[in-house]
């Protein structure tokens, strides 16, 4: 089945009870058993719920995996992966990691004796230098947030495999429309479905997908034991969102390209970070492992002034000033004072997150209107 067909049909069929074409919201905690142990596959909704299970199968198919598991948020999904580890195990993670992942690793799991190394994975050598016999997990984000760094998943998978470590990829920015990490050798794919998969800024959810039945068993055991499951109403919303994922992503990519190229010609712009630009670091790897380049863009201003950047993000009208990404509406953010404010300025600047850096989540509005909006905001600064 091709991707656009899978988004609408994979794992889904008419409701067995009524024939409803849309998967119903099974808003129930428990299921009546005909006799002890005699049931229709469902006993209690923490362990399994038909709406959630339909979504889990659908997403697994989109990622070319066999098993899917849905959680109450992206962070709950990441939390479940980390719970596969034991004290003394080491993790190597991308250095410009999603802030929430960094916080979970360093302020929660470090307390349980898990050791974290944060390295620049755009240079693959940095992983090889850090890996050792205790390394049990490599955690990769690509493209990264907010610098849109590209990491060679095939190369990292080779390193992980030879070290006997699991490779987990946070595929939130790319979505399965643009990139399938399992096909490149990853063991686990993670999504914040809050972003592009849901796509309408109306739901929080996390997803894990894998191929290996043993890994799946561990994930389901943790999902059922810790209980951070996705609810049936939220599962319904993400199922509905995914049905248009391919159509939305196509437009996100088109709009992303138009705005990235417009910005790169703008006299007030110093640098544009978008993986589709020929000048972008590791653009050749992006071309190899992605089918398009998405709608996430960051850019810095020639005059690196905090005041100007803050003014710019306050002066757009269509680009709404907000955290998050991946919805149909365009968003604008200022990483240094929003998502990355807790990182000390020197460390932030080492990652490229200068005071004038601005991040866009380009939505699916008409690109002409978006560019007019950005142009007006640009004219409002010195």
Ligand X SMILES: *Cc1c(COP(=O)(O)O)cnc(C)c1O
Residue 163 C-beta: closest distance to ligand X, Å:
24
From 75, 131, 343, 377, residue interacting with ligand X (rule: CB under 6 A): 75
User: Among all residues, whose Cβ is closest to ligand X?
Assistant: 74
100 φψ region: left (φ > 0), alpha (ψ -120 to 50), beta (else): alpha
Please state, in angstroms and rounded to a whole number, the distance separating the CA atoms of residues 362 and 111. Answer: 38
From 58, 172, 211, 255, residue interacting with ligand X (rule: CB under 6 A): 172
Q: Based on CB atoms, which residue is closest to ligand X, 80 or 163?
A: 80
Give the contact letters, 116-145, x = binds to ligand X (CB under 6 A), - = no.
Answer: -------------------------x---x
Residue 323 C-beta: closest distance to ligand X, Å:
9
Q: What are phi and psi of 146, to 5 degrees?
A: -100, 10
Q: Based on CB atoms, which residue is closest to ligand X, 189 or 313?
A: 189
Element (H, E) at 207: strand 206-210
Task: List, in sequence order, every residue forming a beta bridge with 116; answer none if it has no partner.
Answer: 91
Please state, in angstroms and rounded to a whole number, the distance separating the CA atoms of residues 177 and 7. Answer: 10
Give the contact letters, 99-118, x = binds to ligand X (CB under 6 A), - = no.
Answer: -xx-----------------
DSSP 113: T
From 67, 98, 105, 273, residue interacting with ligand X (rule: CB under 6 A): 98
Please state, in angstroms and rounded to a whole number, the distance separating the CA atoms of residues 278 and 280. Answer: 6
Residue 252 C-beta: closest distance to ligand X, Å:
14
From 50, 68, 74, 327, residue interacting with ligand X (rule: CB under 6 A): 74
- Going by C-beta distance under 8 Å and a sequence separation of 6 or more, which residues neighbour residue 147? 96, 273, 298, 351, 352, 353
Q: Classify strands 135-141 and 90-94 as parallel, antiparallel or unpaired.
A: parallel
Residues in 283-342 that interact with ligand X by CB under 6 A: none
From 73, 235, 298, 330, residue interacting with ligand X (rule: CB under 6 A): 73
Is residue 194 within 8 Å of residue 173, measured between CB atoms?
no
Residues in 205-264 that interact with ligand X by CB under 6 A: 206
Which range of residues in 97-105, 146-154, 351-359, 368-376 is near ligand X by CB under 6 A? Answer: 97-105
CA Rg value for the chain: 21
Q: Based on CB atoms, which residue is closest to ligand X, 58 or 194?
A: 194
- Going by C-beta distance under 8 Å and a sequence separation of 6 or more, which residues neighbour residue 115? 88, 89, 90, 91, 134
Q: Based on CB atoms, which residue is closest to ligand X, 226 or 304?
A: 226
201 near ligand X, judged by CB under 6 A? no
For ligand X, the binding residues (CB under 6 A) are 73-75, 98, 100-101, 141, 145, 170, 172-173, 192, 194-195, 204, 206
């Amino acid at each position: 089945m091709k991707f656009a067909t899978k988004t609408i049909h994979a794992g889904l069929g008419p409701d067995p009870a009524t024939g409803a074409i849309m998967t119903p919201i099974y808003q129930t905690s428990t299921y009546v058993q005909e006799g002890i142990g005699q049931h229709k596959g469902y006993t209690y909704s923490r362990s399994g719920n038909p709406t959630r299970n339909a979504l889990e199968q659908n997403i697994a198919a989109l990622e070319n995996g066999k098993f899917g598991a849905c959680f109450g948020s992206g962070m709950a999904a990441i939390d479940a992966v980390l719970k596969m580890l034991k004290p003394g195990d080491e993790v190597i993670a991308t250095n410009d990691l999603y802030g929430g992942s960094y916080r979970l690793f360093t302020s929660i799991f470090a307390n349980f004796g898990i050791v974290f190394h944060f390295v620049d994975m755009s240079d693959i050598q940095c992983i090889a230098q850090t890996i050792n016999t205790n390394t049990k997990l490599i955690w990769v984000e690509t493209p990264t947030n907010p610098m849109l760094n590209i990491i060679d998943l095939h190369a990292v998978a080779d390193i992980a495999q030879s070290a006997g470590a699991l490779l987990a990829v946070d595929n939130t920015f790319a979505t399965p429309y643009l990139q399938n990490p399992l096909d490149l050798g990853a063991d686990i794919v993670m999504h914040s479905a809050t972003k592009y998969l849901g796509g309408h800024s109306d739901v929080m959810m996390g997803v894990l997908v894998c191929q290996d039945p043993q890994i799946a068993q561990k994930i389901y055991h943790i999902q059922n034991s810790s209980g951070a499951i996705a609810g049936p109403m939220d599962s319904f919303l993400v199922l509905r969102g995914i049905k248009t994922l391919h159509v939305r992503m196509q437009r996100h990519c088109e709009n992303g390209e138009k705005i990235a190229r417009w910005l790169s010609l703008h006299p007030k712009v110093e640098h544009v970070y978008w993986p589709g630009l020929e000048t972008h670091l590791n653009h050749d790897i992006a071309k190899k492992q992605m089918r398009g380049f998405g709608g996430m863009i960051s850019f810095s201003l020639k005059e690196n002034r905090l005041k100007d950047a803050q003014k710019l993000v306050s002066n757009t009208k269509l680009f709404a000033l907000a955290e998050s990404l991946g919805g149909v509406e365009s968003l604008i953010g200022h990483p240094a004072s929003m998502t990355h404010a807790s990182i000390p300025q020197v460390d932030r600047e080492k990652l490229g997150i200068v005071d004038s850096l601005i991040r866009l989540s380009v939505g699916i509005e008409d690109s002409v209107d978006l560019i007019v909006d950005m142009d007006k905001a640009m004219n409002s600064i010195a």
